[in-house]
């Protein structure tokens, strides 16, 4: 089983932890490193907050403080542990920083986590103009992919093409106020677009 260390502040990684436990098919052991005390806006020295050693196969960074994330990335580089910090722009270390969790491309260094979680992969069964079954092979760690897929089961294809993205937005745990000027969208809207495109591509393959 792959060991995952989640770094979080005030429960910031809870939805991802719950999703990994629920949809990870018991492939992962999760340990959390919690930082809950109030912090100064700038931390010149983060050594009192971060561990010296990390025993994990992969680190997921859901920290809110930029200085903590930067130094965690440096630490993971020294320890040769891959770290995923979705939605962040970290230039130190070797953090993998997709714009959102469901935009994480498959990478061999992430092991089983990268096979189960990241950019969605689905299989679709249709009968006439109805989606009768939708199997999620890979999805968002918050569980939005699996939850939204259940909502469009037995739904007419034309309606599902619109509804899938909307359902993802309801389940997505990203901050909708965190507007990204590069993408011109909030993370929630980007997640909807990614899932909608995956569904459209899957249906196109069946024709």
pLDDT tens sequence across 141-171: 999 999 999 999 999 999 999 999 999 999 9
Number of domains in the chain: 2
Whether residue 163 is found in the same domain as residue 196: yes
Whether residue 90 is found in the same domain as residue 153: no
Residue 112 inside a domain? The answer is no
Residues in contact with 180: Cβ distance below 8 Å, sequence separation at least 6, in sequence order = 99, 186, 187, 190
Whether residue 91 is found in the same domain as residue 127: no
Confidence of residue 181 (pLDDT cuts 50, 70, 90): low
**Rounded Cα–Cα distance for residues 64 and 10 (Å):** 9
**Rounded Cα–Cα distance for residues 200 and 44 (Å):** 48
**Rounded Cα–Cα distance for residues 39 and 64 (Å):** 10
Mean of pLDDT values over 11-24: 95
pLDDT per residue as tens digits for the range 88-130 = 999 899 999 999 999 999 999 999 999 999 999 999 999 989 9
Residue 111 inside a domain? The answer is no
Query: Which of 63, 66, 117, 59 minimizes the C-alpha distance to 83?
Result: 59
- Structural domain span for residue 68: 2-97
**Rounded Cα–Cα distance for residues 109 and 93 (Å):** 15
Length of the chain: 207
Provide the 3-class DSSP secondary structure of residue 204: helix
Mean of pLDDT values over 38-66: 96
**Rounded Cα–Cα distance for residues 170 and 145 (Å):** 11
**Strand ranges across the sheet with 155-156:** 121-127, 130-138, 155-156
- Residue 175 pLDDT more than 90? no
**Rounded Cα–Cα distance for residues 142 and 21 (Å):** 10
| pLDDT for the residue 28 | 97
Whether residue 74 is found in the same domain as residue 152: no
Whether residue 93 is found in the same domain as residue 125: no
Whether residue 143 is found in the same domain as residue 198: yes
**Rounded Cα–Cα distance for residues 3 and 162 (Å):** 37
Mean of pLDDT values over 18-25: 95
Q: What percent of the chain has pLDDT over 90?
A: 86
Residues in contact with 190: Cβ distance below 8 Å, sequence separation at least 6, in sequence order = 99, 100, 103, 180, 183
Chain position carrying tokens 């993370």: 187
The pTM score is 0.92
């Amino acid at each position: 089983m792959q060991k995952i260390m989640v770094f979080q502040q005030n429960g910031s990684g809870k939805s991802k932890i719950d999703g990994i436990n629920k949809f990870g098919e018991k492939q992962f052991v999760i340990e959390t490193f919690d930082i809950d005390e109030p912090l100064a806006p700038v931390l010149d020295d983060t050594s009192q907050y971060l561990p010296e050693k990390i025993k994990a196969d992969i680190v997921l960074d859901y920290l809110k403080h930029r200085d903590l994330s930067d130094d965690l990335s440096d630490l993971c580089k020294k320890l040769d542990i891959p770290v995923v910090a979705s939605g962040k722009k970290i230039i130190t270390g070797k953090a993998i920083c997709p714009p959102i969790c469901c935009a994480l491309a498959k990478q061999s260094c992430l092991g089983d986590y990268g096979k189960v979680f990241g950019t969605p992969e689905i299989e679709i069964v249709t009968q006439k103009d109805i989606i009768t079954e939708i199997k999620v092979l890979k999805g968002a760690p918050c569980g939005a992919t699996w939850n939204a897929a259940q909502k469009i089961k037995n739904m007419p294809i034309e309606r599902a093409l619109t509804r899938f993205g909307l359902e993802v937005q309801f389940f997505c745990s990203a901050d909708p106020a965190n507007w990204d000027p590069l993408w011109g969208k909030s993370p929630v809207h980007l997640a909807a677009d990614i899932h909608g495109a995956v569904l459209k591509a899957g249906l196109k393959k069946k024709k």
